[in-house]
């Protein structure tokens, strides 16, 4: 996994002082590295019982859509409030300072669909936790979470109750 870690650029003090932002655009710009990410996710999930792949706005779309295609599954976007044109379910979730809201179309998740949730990064688990509640509200059954990056020190996995697969971890950085 260190080869992938080397492809992820760290931007210090973004978006505010003290934050080490993990930027995946350098990895995405390398087609071999991006393909390697997809190969690793496919290898992990190809034998799982999954009906749909859900990507969390916005970098979860970049990873989730090609993964869904490779797995032969449908892709469903979870968007921030007001971005979807049809009737939606919505869930509010807590951020470090305040709240946010995510939405999904009401007709996107057939009842009892087995769902793999994908995002680029697991930090505190707030966004993926809110998105999980949303998918369950829509009738989906979460089978797992797939992340490109996990920031281990922030202990986001402690806030999630389904299997977690992370390709790259960062600790104490």
For residue 44, what is the enclosing H or E element? Answer: helix 31-45
Q: Where are the domains of the chain?
A: 48-168
3-state secondary structure of 172: coil
3-class state of residue 11 by DSSP: strand
Strands (E), the chain: 9-12, 20-23, 52-56, 74-80, 88-95, 98-105, 114-122, 141-151, 164-170
69 pLDDT exceeds 90? yes
Eight-class DSSP state of 140: -
Structure-model confidence comparison of residues 158 and 172, the more confident one: 158
pLDDT of residue 98: 79
Q: Is 96 a catalytic residue?
A: yes
Please write the tens of the pLDDT for every residue from 116-161.
999 999 999 999 999 999 999 999 999 999 999 999 999 999 999 9
Residues 35-40: what's their mean pLDDT?
98
Cα angle, residue 167 at apex, residues 162 and 171 outer, rounded to 5°: 95
Answer for the pair 75, 52: CB distance below 8 angstroms, yes or no: yes
Catalytic residue status for 57: no
Confidence of residue 173 (pLDDT cuts 50, 70, 90): low
Q: For residue range 13-29, list pLDDT tens digits in order.
A: 998 898 899 999 999 99
Please give the class, per CATH, of domain 48-168.
Answer: alpha beta
**DSSP classification of residue 124:** S
pLDDT at position 113, please? 98
Give the integer Cα–Cα distance in Å for 102 and 82: 9
| Active-site annotation holder among 9, 40, 44, 59 | 59
CB 150 within 8 A of CB 166: yes
pTM: 0.95
How many angstroms separate the CA atoms of 26 and 120, rounded?
Answer: 13
Which among 22, 48, 81, 96 is annotated as catalytic?
96
């Amino acid at each position: 996994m260190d080869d992938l870690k080397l492809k992820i650029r760290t931007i210090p003090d973004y978006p505010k002082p003290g934050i080490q932002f993990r930027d995946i655009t350098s990895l995405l710009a390398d087609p071999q590295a991006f393909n390697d990410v997809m190969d690793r996710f496919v290898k992990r999930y190809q034998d799982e019982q999954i009906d749909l792949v859900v990507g969390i706005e916005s970098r979860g779309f970049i990873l989730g859509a090609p993964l869904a295609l490779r797995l032969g599954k449908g892709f469903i976007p979870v968007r921030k409030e007001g971005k979807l044109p049809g009737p939606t379910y919505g869930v509010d979730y807590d951020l470090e300072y305040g709240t946010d809201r995510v939405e999904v179309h009401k007709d996107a998740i057939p009842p009892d669909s087995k769902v793999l949730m994908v995002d680029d990064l697991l930090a505190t688990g707030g966004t993926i936790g809110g998105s999980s509640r949303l998918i369950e509200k829509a009738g989906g059954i979460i089978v797992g979470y797939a992340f490109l990056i996990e920031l281990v020190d922030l202990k986001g996995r402690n806030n999630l109750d389904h299997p977690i697969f992370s390709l790259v971890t960062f600790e104490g950085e």
